[in-house]
Amino acid sequence: MLFNSFSFLIFFPIVVVLYYSIPRRFRVYFLLLASCIFYMAFVPWYILILFFLIGIDFFLGQAIEKRTGHARRVLLVVSVISNLGTLFVFKYLNFFDANIAALAHALHWNYSLPLLSLVVPLGLSFHVFQSLSYVIEVYRGKWKAERNFFVYALYVMFFPQLVAGPIERPQHLLPQFRAEHQWRDENAITGLERMLWGFFKKMVIADNLAPIVDHIFGTVPHNGPVLILGVVLFTYQLYCDFSGYSDIAVGTARVLGFEIMENFNRPFAARSIADFWRRWHISLSSWLRDYLFTPLLWLWRGAGQLGFYASLLVTFTLIGLWHGANWTYVVFGALHGAYMVIGAATQKWRNRFAELIGLVRLPRLRAALQTLTVFALVCFSTLFFRADTIGQAFTMLAHMADHLAQAFSVSFWWREAPGLMGLSARGAKVYLFLLILAIIGMEVLQYFQEKKATLLVWAKWPSWGRISWRYAALAAIVFFGYLGATPFIYFKF
Amino acid sequence: MWKFLLKFILYIGVPVVLVLAFPLYVYWQAREFTSVHDAITTQAASSSALFGIGYDYASRAYKEAMLAEKPADVVILGSSRVLELHQLFFASSTRLVNAGLGLPDMSRLPALLNDHPAGSEPKVILLGIDPWMFKPGEETVNIPQQVTLGDRLWAFVSGAWRTVYSDYFLFHKFGLGQLAAARSTSSSIGINALINDEGFMADGSELYGRRGELENYVNVVAPQAIEQMRASVASDRADFDFGTSTSAASLRELNIFLATAEARGIHVVGFITPYPHAVFQQLMSVHDSYAQEAVLLPAVLNAFFTHYNFPFFNYMDAASAGIPDSEFLDFQHVTDKGALRILIAMAQGDSTLRAYVSLPNLKSLLAHTPDAFIDPADLK
């Protein structure tokens, strides 16, 4: 079930009313049932795969806790293999097979392994990582194994974060299923406002950017300014789509009295790539930091700085691969790994250079330059994220220098550019202007969110201001959004 | 919780009702929710009523209902390219149903025959064939329809209501007074019919609007579209209607249809719908497998029709029916004058069809039509 669908608009209020109406001792089971219904609205039989993984990790968690020494490690490895193995079979097997076949063909080997026609169960990457964090925390002794199968199942399947995260940790989520949640108007208000903000980002900005981005990436016009704009717009589409989903997830959970972790924190305000990853898809980057990067760092501690760089490269390349079975995602991840390595290796030199040219005396200018540089590097990487193939990405790169001077021509942007972006209908210029205005408005609001250190900056506004923004956002969603028009981009991961 | 929920429902519900009220009013005024059956009934009672809903698509269901409900001597089947064949072209005693747009692909052909119980079938079927119907992989056009009231309401709630606002406030496509006046003086159904005089007539053929609109099509839209298509065919024929081979599945369905028609005593006249001469010439100037298919397809189809002693006419090149490129509305739809030329040519070549028209009247109509189209006022 999509959040931005009519069925969710019916499903959610019913779940909320029933949740708060039934006795507390039944609420976990009810939420689990609701989560199953939510998940099965996509493809019903996918749930069997989910319960397969839930069953394995539930029993393995208990077994790990009871054992000591080598046996614990073996059981952990079994869990890791089961989870990652399932992910590999559904998500990466065909990719792996196709690449081996290509290599065999190049080397004139006889190789034929049939491709499996398997469709990736929705949200599999997220479930696997969330399950693994539970098993690893139990193994490390930082969390006690869950004794109630239904509570554990709900931990994996809690519907607000079921399909696209945030990837939760057992310490944060599991205790909440045993806590008492009473109806509070304040939770409902802040939760609904958060959902409204998420719907605005997804339905007004992301979904309206999608056809423009699809057209530019589909036709690859030989025009540098339009191609560059296309990449920038996709970067915003990706951010608004995914952070919008996360906002809806957080808001939905809040209405039910739960707190789930934040996944975004104004990533385009980052002043370094490392800072970017502390702000973008926080649950994934922190998961990989805790469960991959840190162990690798420890493993390669003998290699000194090289070990550090290697850990970064491996971690970020795997971040890319996590997103999908395509070399474009690998390049996306590897690019960020390279950015991190180069950033770390050159930090001393960059600071000295900044001193030399007097930039340290102009902190705001320096911050602005850093932010723009990071944004440009991120956009460069999202070109590969969005492109269908590496070849397409390079084709677009090759044409990014075409007619660059037109970027400074008002008449170009007024007359020719809309056509190149697939906007030929009357009112297209007004539409594009409103879209850019919405993006600017979002960035301004987020700027104040960071300044006030609250993700609900409007909570401090007077009531007329709060009501006005609600109706304005609702009007924008109602007039410019389409129910169920496009699924969330991260659903396919 | 209940007090909060009540406040929330009022908070959201009242603005939603207010926002939807205007488009609902427009829908009601324009009779946009009329079912296809009610539309056919209205047109049976008032032959000048048009069916032209603007915010939904129900053309195929409308044509299928027409085939099932209206008795006919002559039925026209095909895509939108056959819609300009009007009742006016046939003898007054001939009952015509133009079911153009009721044929999404060849597999529907046999089923359309089954809509007629034995004894009530038409005497003649004119089957307009577009080459894409035999292009492997692209033989089907499946446009989602909004037929039932539930479909239309869902389409309305999902987004059509927004189009009403933009049509009224942004593009000024209609006025409320204009709509009210049209509703009170006409029994036409749908905003397109009421405002633009555009829609399906009682015989199922299409009226493309008033004189000014047709002049725009013929003088502005068509020349640009034809040149664009000609240039497109010159550069990449893969996007054109022809493939490099003929769909065996479509041929199978056609064969079943022709065999069934023969068995039930229905005379079928097949013809390939025309392309502008400039486009056809461009295709023929390129000696590749697409052009080859353009030559082979008519020959293959002709063999099928001949097998059942049915006539077949190849008007792929509009010039072969005497249609100049100026008698096109775009790169693939002829005007009704162009369609008239096709009918005259077919009637001259087929004695069975000739019995349902008056050739002298048709030739006179052609001679007395100075424009590239028949004046819509004369058709209504």
Instruction: Write the DSSP string, A420-455.
Output: HTT--STTHHHHHHHHHHHHHHHHHHHHHHHHTT-S
pLDDT at A235: 95
The answer to whether residues A111 and A202 belong to one domain is no
pLDDT at B103: 81
Q: Which of A149, A183, A217 finishes a domain?
A: A183
pLDDT at A395: 92
pLDDT at B234: 85
pLDDT at A95: 85
Using the beta-carbon criterion (under 8 Å), do A483 and B158 form an inter-chain contact? yes
Which among B1, B12, B162 has CB closest to A479?
Answer: B162
**Confidence grade of residue A456 (pLDDT, cut at 50, 70, 90):** low
**Confidence grade of residue A426 (pLDDT, cut at 50, 70, 90):** low
Q: Which of A347-356, B80-89, B211-220 has the highest mean pLDDT?
A: B80-89
Q: Which chain B residues have a beta carbon less than 8 Å from that of A20? A: 1
Contacts of B171 (CB under 8 A, 6+ apart): A426, A427
Q: Which domain holds residue A156?
A: 6-183
The answer to whether residues A289 and A425 belong to one domain is yes
The mean pLDDT of B220-231, rounded to a whole number, is 91
pLDDT at A415: 84
Query: Which pLDDT tens digit goes with each residue over B236-272?
Result: 776 677 778 889 999 999 999 999 999 999 999 999 9
Residue A434 sits at the chain B interface (C-beta within 8 Å):
no
pLDDT at A464: 86
Query: Which pLDDT tens digit goes with each residue over B307-343?
Result: 999 999 999 999 999 999 999 999 999 999 999 999 9
Q: Is the pLDDT of residue A483 over 70?
A: no
Cβ A487 vs Cβ A207: under 8 Å: no
Active site residue A323: yes
Q: Is the pLDDT of residue A112 over 70?
A: no
The answer to whether residues A108 and A153 belong to one domain is yes
Pair of tokens at residue B48 = 């000048």
Nearest Cα residue to B280 out of B329, B332, B327: B332
Q: Which of A126, A148, A183 finishes a domain?
A: A183
ipTM above 0.90, yes or no: no
Using the beta-carbon criterion (under 8 Å), do B4 and A185 form an inter-chain contact? yes
Q: Does the pTM exceed 0.95?
A: no
The answer to whether residues A337 and A375 belong to one domain is yes
Using the beta-carbon criterion (under 8 Å), do A479 and B165 form an inter-chain contact? yes
Helices and strands, number each (H, E), in chain A: 22, 0
Which among A20, A185, A427 has CB closest to B170?
Answer: A427
pLDDT at B311: 97
Q: Which of A151, A183, A215 finishes a domain?
A: A183
Residue A394 sits at the chain B interface (C-beta within 8 Å):
no
Which residue of B3, B4, B224 to mutate against A (max A Cβ within 10 Å)? Answer: B4
Which residue of A186, A479, A482, A486 to mutate against B (max B Cβ within 10 Å)? Answer: A479
Cβ B321 vs Cβ B274: under 8 Å: yes
Q: Give all strands of the β-sheet with B74-78 in edge-to-edge order.
A: B96-100, B74-78, B124-129, B267-272, B312-314
The answer to whether residues A135 and A267 belong to one domain is no
pLDDT at A114: 64
Q: Is the pLDDT of residue B279 over 60?
A: yes
The answer to whether residues A196 and A253 belong to one domain is yes
Using the beta-carbon criterion (under 8 Å), do B15 and A474 form an inter-chain contact? yes
The answer to whether residues A50 and A198 belong to one domain is no
Look at residue A1 and tell me if it is in a domain. Answer: no
Please report, for chain B, the start and end positions of each structural domain, with discontinuous segments joined by +.
1-58+148-196, 71-144+210-379
Nearest Cα residue to B88 out of B355, B354, B358: B358
* Residue of A479 and B181 predicted with greater confidence: B181
Residue B169 sits at the chain A interface (C-beta within 8 Å):
no
Q: How many domains does chain A have?
A: 2
The catalytic position among A127, A281, A323, A336 is A323
Query: Which pLDDT tens digit goes with each residue over A305-320?
Result: 899 999 999 999 999 9
Query: Which pLDDT tens digit goes with each residue over A83-98?
Result: 999 988 888 888 888 8
Considering the four listed CATH numbers 3.40.50.2000, 3.30.360.10, 3.90.330.10, 3.40.50.1110, the one that applies to the domain covering B71-144+210-379 is 3.40.50.1110
Q: Is the pLDDT of residue A111 over 80?
A: no
The answer to whether residues A61 and A174 belong to one domain is yes
The answer to whether residues A214 and A268 belong to one domain is yes
Residue listed under structure tokens 């369609």: B339
Residue B9 sits at the chain A interface (C-beta within 8 Å):
no
Mean pLDDT, chain B, rounded, equals 90
Report helix, strand or coil for A246. Answer: helix
Q: Percentage of residues in chain A with pLDDT exceeding 90? A: 57
The answer to whether residues A68 and A90 belong to one domain is yes
